[in-house]
Amino acid sequence: MVAARKRNPNGSGTVTKRSDGRYQAAVFVPQPDGTTKRKYAYGRSYDECDRKRRELIERSQQGIPTPTRDMTLNQWFDYWLECIVKPYLSAGSYRTYGQTTRLYLRPYLGHAVMLKLGVKELRAAVTALARKVSSKTARQALRVLSAALTAAMEEDFGLTRNVAKLVHVRAPTDHGESWTAVQVLRFLAEARRRTVYYPAFLLLCLLGLRRAEICGLRWENIDFDQRIVWVEQQLQRSGAGMIDVELKTETSKAPLPLPAQCIGPLRWQRLRVAWLRERALAAGRPWYDDPVGHVFVTRTGRPWQPDNLYQTLQRIRVLAGLSKMNPKGLRKSCGTLLVHLKAHPRIVKAILRHSRIATTLDIYAEALDPDVIEAVSRLDLLLRQPVRLERLQEAVERPD
């Protein structure tokens, strides 16, 4: 009696020999979009092909999606954002990548099969995007696509080249503007009269802090006795609301000398927060007791948000009659003024906490703490109120 042929268990896949002599494994695997598709693997021998079959089954049992060769960019973007970008990059990067793919990449390239995407097709899509939106936006979209394709190559499912690196977009370089010492003084003088967040703009102008770093600053980060401020976290928006997150790079974490001009306004800020709390509790108004003690808070005790800092900056700028500026440009103004004071590029790098010296002036060195303290003190002296403003303004307006 002939024994019945033993069937493979469901989900274990199959290994067959092809007409060309190679072996082929076929396994149903989960896809990034939640569906299931048949995945093929090939080998020169039965053992090699069977090993690949077991690897696919192991990935499937662990719940790891295994994209197939007909996967579109839309499907890959879903997997890349949720499984690679979100867990390992910052919330800001996740938000930026998600917005770029949704607005610019999916409409033009989402339908394309990733493994079949060619240079000609990609160049046509990027050119159309540049015409409809701008060349700067097209270049940014190309960078995001390049990052997504690089991650796809690391997943090792058949992609052998990153076509985004073979396409280039010619776009004007935006070096950004910066204010002169007179303009910075005019802005600070107006901020002192117009907003209670004047200490925040002092830190922005004197130390070049990023707006998320200013909003994430805590009282525990400030040592008035030693005159030191530690930059250790930043306030960012996430799905859970506004939260403190780690800084993007390790070089961004650094102690900086606290300028003498900032001590009085910061102490006043601490008294203001205590007064706001007492007044709210006495009047029965809502008050949020900040568990970590942010330096800059609203009238209800909530941390001051970076978007509000931007809006306040624009309002003060208009009242002062100054040209268009954003927090990043004001941070650049800090570096420009330090260069004006003949501070060495390595010192400017240490104060602004650039990850690369190339970002500062393409000079490689490390700053010493005494040099940093001296440079900030000189900048603090330059931006003293209000006598220096009048002198510098007279020097600018004085005819030759």
**Mean pLDDT within 243-259:** 84
Question: What stretch(es) of the chain map to CATH 1.10.150.130?
Answer: 73-166
- Which residue do the tokens 């499984």 mark? 83
The answer to whether 163 touches 119, Cβ cutoff 8 Å, is yes
Whole-number pLDDT of residue 222 = 95
C-alpha 221/C-alpha 113 separation (Å) is: 50
**pTM surpassing 0.75?**
no
Residues 98-140: tens digit of each pLDDT? 999 999 999 999 999 998 899 999 999 999 999 999 998 999 9
Distances (CA, A) of 352 to 24, 52, 241, 369: 57, 50, 28, 14
Residues 262-298: tens digit of each pLDDT? 999 999 999 999 999 999 999 999 999 999 999 999 9
C-alpha 181/C-alpha 334 separation (Å) is: 9
Residues 350-392: tens digit of each pLDDT? 888 877 666 665 333 333 455 666 777 777 877 776 666 677 6
* Chain mean position to CA 142: 17
C-alpha 183/C-alpha 346 separation (Å) is: 25
Residue 399 binned pLDDT confidence (cut-offs 50, 70, 90): low
What is the percent of the chain with per-residue pLDDT over 70, rounded to a whole number?
85
Whole-number pLDDT of residue 174 = 54
What is the percent of the chain with per-residue pLDDT over 90, rounded to a whole number?
44
Mean pLDDT over all residues of the chain?
84
pLDDT above 80: residue 150: yes
Question: What stretch(es) of the chain map to CATH 1.10.443.10?
Answer: 181-397
Whole-number pLDDT of residue 329 = 84
Q: Which CATH class for the 73-166 domain?
A: mainly alpha
**Mean pLDDT within 48-63:** 83
CATH of domain 181-397: 1.10.443.10
